[in-house]
A and B are shown apart, each in its own frame.
Chain A
Amino acid sequence: MNENEPFIGIDLGTTNSVVATVIDGVPRVIASRTGQTLTPSVVAVSRNGKRLVGHMAKRQAITNAENTAHAAKRLIGRRWGSPEVEDARKSLPYELVPGPEGNDIRAMLGGRTFAIPEISALVLAELKADAEAFFGRRVTKAVITVPAYFNDGQRQGTKDAGRIAGLEVVRIINEPTSAALAYGFGKQMEKKVAVIDLGGGTFDVSILDVGKSVYDVIAVGGDTYLGGEDFDRRVIDWLVFSFAQEHQGIDLRQDKMAMQRLRDAAERAKIELSETSQAAIHLPFLASGSDGKAAVHLDRQLTRDKLEELTQDLVDKTIQVADRTLRDAGVRVGQIGEVLLVGGMTRMPRVQQAVRQHFGREPSRGVHPEEVVALGAAIQAHALLHPQKGKEVLLLDVTPQNLGIMVVGGYFSTVIPRNTTVPTSQSHLFTTVQDSQTSVRIAVLQGGSDKAVENELLGEFVLDGLRSAQRGEVEIEVSFDISADGIVGVSARDSATGARQSITVTATSGLTEAEMRRILEENMDEMLTRRQVGDFERLRDRTRAVISEIEGLSPRVKESLARSRFGKDAVVKAEDVVGRARDAIEKGDLQQMIAVEEQLDRALQLFKGLVGGAASGPKDPS
Chain B
Amino acid sequence: MATVAELLDQGVKAYTRGDSAEAERFWEQALELDPKNERVRAYLKQVRGELPPRPGEPPPAPEPAPRAEPVFEPSPWDAGPTSVATVVVEDGDGLDLDAVGEKSEIRSLVPDRKPSARSPAPGEVATWMEGARELFALGDFSGSLEMIERILRVDPTHAEARAYLRQNEATLVAMYESKLGPLSSVPRLAIHAEEVMWLNLDHRAGFLLAQVDGTVSFDDLFALSGLPRLDTARILASLLAEGVIR
Which range contains the number of B residues in contact with the other chain?
Answer: 35 or more
Q: Judging by beta carbons under 8 Å apart, are B211 and A59 in contact? A: yes
A365-413 at interface with B (beta carbon < 8 Å): none
Q: Judging by beta carbons under 8 Å apart, are A258 and B203 in contact? A: yes
A323 to B207 CA separation, bound complex (whole angstroms): 44
Interface 1/0s, chain B 210-226, versus A by CB < 8 A? 11000110011011111
Asked if B148 is at the interface (CB within 8 A of a chain A CB), the reply is: no
Interface 1/0s, chain B 171-199, versus A by CB < 8 A? 00010001001111100000000001101
Residue of B nearest to A60 (CB): B224
Q: Judging by beta carbons under 8 Å apart, are B183 and A47 in contact? A: no
Asked if B87 is at the interface (CB within 8 A of a chain A CB), the reply is: yes
Most chain B CB atoms below 10 A, which of A64, A284, A568, A575? A284
Expressed in whole angstroms, the minimum distance between the Cβ of A447 and any Cβ of chain B is: 42
A285 to B209 CA separation, bound complex (whole angstroms): 10
Asked if B117 is at the interface (CB within 8 A of a chain A CB), the reply is: no
Q: Judging by beta carbons under 8 Å apart, are A56 and B219 in contact? A: no
Q: Judging by beta carbons under 8 Å apart, are B203 and A285 in contact? A: yes
Q: Judging by beta carbons under 8 Å apart, are A260 and B197 in contact? A: no
Residues A261 and B182 in contact in the complex (CB < 8 Å), given A64-B226, A586-B88: no
A-B contact pairs, 26 of them (CB 8 A): A34-B215, A47-B99, A55-B215, A56-B223, A56-B224, A60-B223, A257-B203, A260-B207, A261-B210, A284-B210, A285-B202, A285-B209, A286-B206, A287-B203, A288-B105, A295-B201, A537-B183, A537-B184, A540-B182, A541-B181, A542-B182, A545-B182, A554-B77, A563-B69, A568-B72, A568-B73
A177 to B86 CA separation, bound complex (whole angstroms): 64
A283 to B207 CA separation, bound complex (whole angstroms): 9
Asked if A52 is at the interface (CB within 8 A of a chain B CB), the reply is: yes
Asked if B119 is at the interface (CB within 8 A of a chain A CB), the reply is: no
A250-283 at interface with B (beta carbon < 8 Å): 255-258, 260-261, 283
Residue of A nearest to B193 (CB): A282
Q: Judging by beta carbons under 8 Å apart, are A587 and B178 in contact? A: no
A2-17 at interface with B (beta carbon < 8 Å): none
Expressed in whole angstroms, the minimum distance between the Cβ of A357 and any Cβ of chain B is: 39
Q: Judging by beta carbons under 8 Å apart, are A541 and B203 in contact? A: no
Q: Judging by beta carbons under 8 Å apart, are B69 and A562 in contact? A: yes
Residues A256 and B183 in contact in the complex (CB < 8 Å), given A56-B220, A284-B197: no
A residues with a Cβ closer than 8 A to B are 34, 46-48, 50, 52, 55-56, 59-60, 63-64, 255-258, 260-261, 283-288, 294-295, 297, 537-538, 540-542, 544-545, 554, 558, 561-563, 565, 568, 571-572, 575, 586-587
Residue of B nearest to A59 (CB): B224
Q: Judging by beta carbons under 8 Å apart, are A572 and B76 in contact? A: yes
Q: Judging by beta carbons under 8 Å apart, are A285 and B205 in contact? A: yes
Expressed in whole angstroms, the minimum distance between the Cβ of B225 and any Cβ of chain A is: 8
Contacts of B67 in A (CB 8 A): 562
Set A55, A284, A545: member contacting B206, Cβ < 8 A: A284
B residues with a Cβ closer than 8 A to A are 67, 69, 71-73, 75-78, 85, 87-88, 99, 105, 174, 178, 181-185, 196-197, 199-207, 209-211, 215-216, 219-220, 222-226, 229
Q: Judging by beta carbons under 8 Å apart, are A586 and B210 in contact? A: no
Residues A297 and B197 in contact in the complex (CB < 8 Å), given A285-B205, A288-B203: yes
Contacts of B85 in A (CB 8 A): 586
Contacts of B220 in A (CB 8 A): 56
Closest 9 CB pairs of A and B: A285-B206, A541-B182, A63-B226, A46-B223, A257-B207, A284-B197, A295-B203, A50-B223, A285-B201
Contacts of A544 in B (CB 8 A): 178, 181-182
A555 to B96 CA separation, bound complex (whole angstroms): 41
Most chain A CB atoms below 10 A, which of B75, B185, B200? B75
Contacts of A288 in B (CB 8 A): 105, 202-203
Residue of B nearest to A576 (CB): B76
Contacts of A561 in B (CB 8 A): 72, 75
A257 to B227 CA separation, bound complex (whole angstroms): 10
Expressed in whole angstroms, the minimum distance between the Cβ of B20 and any Cβ of chain A is: 28
Set B73, B174, B226: member contacting A257, Cβ < 8 A: B226
Contacts of A554 in B (CB 8 A): 77
Q: Judging by beta carbons under 8 Å apart, are B223 and A48 in contact? A: yes
Q: Judging by beta carbons under 8 Å apart, are B75 and A537 in contact? A: no
A312 to B220 CA separation, bound complex (whole angstroms): 38
Most chain A CB atoms below 10 A, which of B87, B200, B202, B223? B223
Expressed in whole angstroms, the minimum distance between the Cβ of B116 and any Cβ of chain A is: 19
Q: Judging by beta carbons under 8 Å apart, are A294 and B226 in contact? A: no
Expressed in whole angstroms, the minimum distance between the Cβ of A599 and any Cβ of chain B is: 17
Contacts of A48 in B (CB 8 A): 222-223, 229
Expressed in whole angstroms, the minimum distance between the Cβ of B238 and any Cβ of chain A is: 14
Q: Judging by beta carbons under 8 Å apart, are B184 and A538 in contact? A: yes
Residues A575 and B76 in contact in the complex (CB < 8 Å), given A46-B223, A56-B224, A256-B226: yes
Residues A541 and B202 in contact in the complex (CB < 8 Å), given A34-B215, A60-B226, A568-B72: no
Contacts of A63 in B (CB 8 A): 224-226
Contacts of A47 in B (CB 8 A): 99, 223, 226
Expressed in whole angstroms, the minimum distance between the Cβ of A334 and any Cβ of chain B is: 48
A410 to B6 CA separation, bound complex (whole angstroms): 79
Contacts of A52 in B (CB 8 A): 223
Residue of A nearest to B207 (CB): A257
Q: Judging by beta carbons under 8 Å apart, are B201 and A541 in contact? A: no
Contacts of A541 in B (CB 8 A): 181-185
